[in-house]
């Protein structure tokens, strides 16, 4: 069974921005939420560019250090990078691995806001 469509759908349906980079820091994929979130910075035009071009020198240095940490041990897989009080969310860098081998990383956003929507909204029964 080809699992790739399932993984792509999982990423695309996430309401939080997901930016996937390879080990050379090239942005290889952005889900629709990321394209919208980073619209002012270029949106989908960022795919194929270095994520380092989108960050300050200090942030780029920290991204490189996290990559070194990921490479040092296959158990090193997630790092909290910052908290945004404006959006009330945490942002993480998460290692992507293929059978233990580091193949890239992604940016993960986690909201601290409680979902105030109705449970099972739109579902009848």
* pLDDT tens-digit map of 98-117: 999 999 999 999 999 998 88
pLDDT digits (tens, 9 = 90+) for 59-70: 999 999 999 999
Residue spans per domain, the chain: 16-111
Under 8 Å CB-to-CB from 4, ≥6 apart: which residues?
Answer: none
Mean pLDDT of the chain: 95
Q: How far apart are CA 74 and CA 107, in angstroms?
A: 18
**Which pTM does this prediction carry?**
0.90
| Upper half-sphere CA count for residue 28 (Cβ side, 13 Å) | 12
Q: Write down the architecture of domain 16-111 according to CATH.
A: 2-Layer Sandwich (3.30)
């Amino acid at each position: 069974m080809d699992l790739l469509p399932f993984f792509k759908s999982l990423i695309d349906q996430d309401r939080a921005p997901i930016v996937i980079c390879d080990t050379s820091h090239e942005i290889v994929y952005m889900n629709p939420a990321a394209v919208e979130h980073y619209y002012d910075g270029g949106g989908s035009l960022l795919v194929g560019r270095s994520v380092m071009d989108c960050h300050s020198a200090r942030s780029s240095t920290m991204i490189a250090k996290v990559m070194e940490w990921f490479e040092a041990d296959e158990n090193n897989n997630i790092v909290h990078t910052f908290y945004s009080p404006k959006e009330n969310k945490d942002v993480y860098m998460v290692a992507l691995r293929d059978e233990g081998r580091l193949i890239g990383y992604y940016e993960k956003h986690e909201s601290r806001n409680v979902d105030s929507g109705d449970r099972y909204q739109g579902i009848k029964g």
